[in-house]
Structure 1
């Protein structure tokens, strides 16, 4: 089973694209909205060094932005 977590904000079009892509591929994921929780946003920046969203963690590997090819490489 894949462990997928998508870090998003309310206004990010690429976040929506990533969520739609995962849904189309029937890959279950957990969404974490960093706009609603600044503590989570701070932790995310510390973990990845990146401010942008979406950031997607798949089985311990990180993807910045909307990168469907990379998603398919990382899922089992």
Structure 2
């Protein structure tokens, strides 16, 4: 399994919560890939299948082929998920 933490932010233009998430990740030094779902219903369909939601932001965090989707609004949910991934990495050392 890869040791690199991958973060994917599903967002759309004009979404203040999406900007808050991206700003937080930039400020804390976490690189991420952004997927813009603006006017792309097929991408929202993917979120519906994976997580049962069509709203953004959705943040996926993981290593290798194991990812966790954060669908709740609020930086505290993202912060907790990032902390959990850091603990998992430390436990494996």
- Structure 1 length-normalised TM: 0.86
- Structure 2 length-normalised TM: 0.72
Q: Distance in 1 between matches of 2:44 and 2:54?
A: 8
Q: Shift in Å at residue 52 of structure 1?
A: 1.7
Q: Are 1:40 and 2:68 an aligned pair?
A: no
Structure 2, gaps ≥5 residues long:
87-93
Max Rg structure: 2
Structure 1, gaps ≥5 residues long:
none
SS in 1 for 2:34: strand
Give the RMSD, CA atoms, in angstroms. Answer: 1.5
Higher relative contact order (CA 8 A, sep 6+): 1
Q: 1:12 to 1:74 in 2, by over 3 A?
A: farther
